[in-house]
Chains A and B, each alone.
Chain A
Amino acid sequence: MTEMQQGDQSAILRLKAVSAGYGRRTILNDLSLEVSRGEIFALLGGNGAGKSTTLRVLLGFLKPSAGEVTLAGQDVVADPAAARAHVAYVAENVALYEHLSARENLAYLLTLAGVTAEASRIEGALEAVGLGVAARGQRLSGYSKGMRQKTAIALAVAREVPVLLLDEPTSGLDPRAISEFHDLLDVLRARGTAILMVTHDLLGATQVADRIGFLSEGRLTQVADKSEDRSFDINRLYQAYQTAQPGQVA
């Protein structure tokens, strides 16, 4: 387990010495983080550790007070709209348009993303996430949370973006849906997508992530790397997670 994130030339998502907050309240404190192509990075931390703020900074919703943020080499602070072309985001509670079908949702949101909404692209993406053909034309109001999750991921697949940001992706999913979701992330990893996953689910993270970072008071306190720690030592990770919780002493 390393104490800090190492520099990586192949990194496609990069936060370098980033500080950000709301008003006088600093949330991210000199945070550095990199995720490479084909890598899944799980970011864990307690409430208020700065997980969501990290995503907001990466999406260009929040301007950092210091540091550099780049996505596929694009400076997020200088041109957030251009940087967003390289990233897809799936929120914790996946919310798409209930009155539209999965196909229509994808077509609409792809158009908003500036991507041509070709039928083959949409069908291919829905196929890739394993959404049944019969369900694709139904309105989302009849979908389960897992199916919505798949639809949202399908959007990212269809956009063919190099970076995917996931906010608590397994929250509220049943075990089978979680397993299917992990399979889906494997597919995306194999395609070379860099995935940053914000989660509270340590066990799930050990199953799917390549690296797990623990965020506390706006900075990465520890990073566990699967390549170094072949099958993550859950006990050590749990201890690290506990340490990262607010009010705990390392």
Chain B
Amino acid sequence: MTMLRFEWLLLIRSRLTLAALIVLSVLSIFAVARGLHEVARQNAVIAHLETLQKNDMSDLAKAYGPEGDAGYAAYYSFHHTFDPPSRLAFAALGQRDVLPYNLRVRALGLQAQLYEGDIFNPELALPGRFDLSFVLVYLTPLFLVVLLHDLVSGEAESGRLSLLRAAPKAGIALWLRRAALRSALVFAAVAVPFVAGAVIAQAPVAGVMGGVALIALYVMFWTALCLLTAAFGFGSRINALVLLSQWVILVLVAPTLAHIAISRSVPVPQGVDIVLKHRQLVHGAWEVPKDLTMQRFFHSHPEWKATAPLGKTFEWKWYFAFHHVGDESVAADVATYRGRILQRQALAEGVGYLLPSVGVQAAMERLGDTDIRGYLSYQDQIKTFHTALRRFYYPYIFNKTPFPEPEYAKVPRFEPRSYGGGIGGFYLLTLAALSAGLGGGGVWLMRKRIV
């Protein structure tokens, strides 16, 4: 305890150390506050759209209820689907700023509606997302470098190393204690705002613990790297240069190269291509003989085959049928699109086992359920809802059942998906093993060269 008290005194009386810890704390608090604000804004947008949705349906019921035609109801009614941010989304906003979390869908062809918003906004992507995961993955290692690059070399340069080496009870424990104390403070500067944010957001305890473990292990990884570098006995400037080079490679260059390699090895068709193909099929359907369209539809939906044949005038069931056929015609493209996205995601997660910056970023987004898996899960929920819409409207449309105003109240309502995030224990173990390996190497080298 006495030892730690003095190490603490030495730390807090160093202006650079104190300034670094204050700056990191401020950045973390700002990132958490920004994350909470963004989550609150997204929830407010969702709530506002829900109100508008109710008003919209009410107006629609009044406008088309008296006519009693389900076709109009199905055609004109937009249904609000939404993906509320999880309680831990504040820590990693992930894809939620570039991918839609609100989508109004109709009972028409789904695929064109689903991928209409799948247009990447480079203006949003350029500055990146300033959230806690950004502070953790990109900035925290820099602060650890600031605090640990002169762990041993600073003592050598100030002439105290011989004195410390000559102290009988100093040994390796001295350096480990110092590194641990500095790392613990860096950890606290990130973890305390995270926990405070989680309490405000009423996040589940297991998720908070997972997040804290992830922060701790990432800090441990960089601490181990700093220890290993310090053990070589270079001067502080060389250490700083080496550690900054490691940061550039591990946080910027290697992830970028990995991203390029994954993108080239697994090409993903653009969502807009599916939209265009779907639209061409749907618009082209006006030129296709109606019977042919219906045959295609009945082939996959024989339950509606027994309904009355088409007349010569416009009929909603033909209209909805060719939209449905349009969806089925692009089903293979959609499967390829989603499969490739998941393949890329799996590869990126694999890279994360070797590159902690990639792995921790992915894990934070998984924890917040804000990654691409979360978005695909939202799409699945939309599809389920859209299927429910079709199942609701089709009996009215195909059987020509009247659809008076009270029926509007029976239209299915979208239920948001439940939280599907979390952190894999295996990943945490891998990161712990990697950190332990590096740290162990550092300790071994330190014993050999410094102690």
Contacts and interface: CB of A to CB of B under 8 A. Distances in A.
Interface of A: 59, 61, 81-82, 84-85, 87-89, 91, 93-97, 99-100, 104, 107-109, 111-114, 117, 139
Given A99-B9, A111-B169, 10 more contacts: A81-B171, A84-B166, A95-B158, A95-B163, A99-B14, A100-B9, A107-B6, A111-B2, A112-B164, A113-B167
Contacts of A61: 162, 165
Given A59-B162, A91-B159, A109-B163, A82 B168 contact: yes
| Most B-side CB within 10 Å, residue of A93, A100, A107, A111 | A111
Given A84-B167, A91-B159, A111 B6 contact: yes
Nearest to A114: B169
Contact of B159 (A84, A93, A108, A113): A93
A89 B14 contact: no
Contacts of B163: 89, 91, 95-96, 109
A111 to B, nearest CB: 5
Contacts of A139: 13
Interface in B139-169: 158-160, 162-169
B2 A89 contact: no
Contacts of A82: 168
Contact of A104 (B6, B167, B174): B6
B18 to A, nearest CB: 11
Interface residues of B, number: 21
Contacts of B10: 97, 99-100
B418 to A, nearest CB: 53
A91 B158 CA distance: 11
B174 A107 contact: no
9 contacts: A61-B165, A89-B166, A94-B159, A97-B10, A97-B160, A100-B9, A111-B169, A112-B164, A113-B169
Interface in B163-195: 163-171, 174
Contacts of B308: none
Contacts, number: 65
Contacts of B9: 99-100, 104
B3 interface: yes
A82 B166 CA distance: 10
B235 to A, nearest CB: 16
A100 B158 CA distance: 14
Nearest to A91: B162
Nearest to B14: A99
Contact of B168 (A96, A107, A114): A114
A88 B165 CA distance: 11
Nearest to B15: A99
Interface of B: 2-3, 6, 9-10, 13-14, 158-160, 162-171, 174
A93 B161 CA distance: 12
Nearest to A108: B6
B182 to A, nearest CB: 15
Contacts of A114: 167-169
B167 A112 contact: yes
B2 A117 contact: yes
A211 to B, nearest CB: 24
B168 A85 contact: yes
A112 B2 contact: no
Nearest to A95: B159
Nearest to B11: A99
A113 B3 CA distance: 11
A89 B169 contact: no
A93 B174 CA distance: 22
Nearest to B174: A112
Given A84-B167, A113-B167, A114-B168, A89 B162 contact: yes
Nearest to A59: B166
A87 B167 CA distance: 9
A242 B170 CA distance: 40
B150 to A, nearest CB: 14
A99 B13 contact: yes
A59 to B, nearest CB: 5
A111 B10 CA distance: 15
A84 B13 contact: no
A114 B174 CA distance: 12
Contacts of A113: 167-170
Contacts of B158: 95
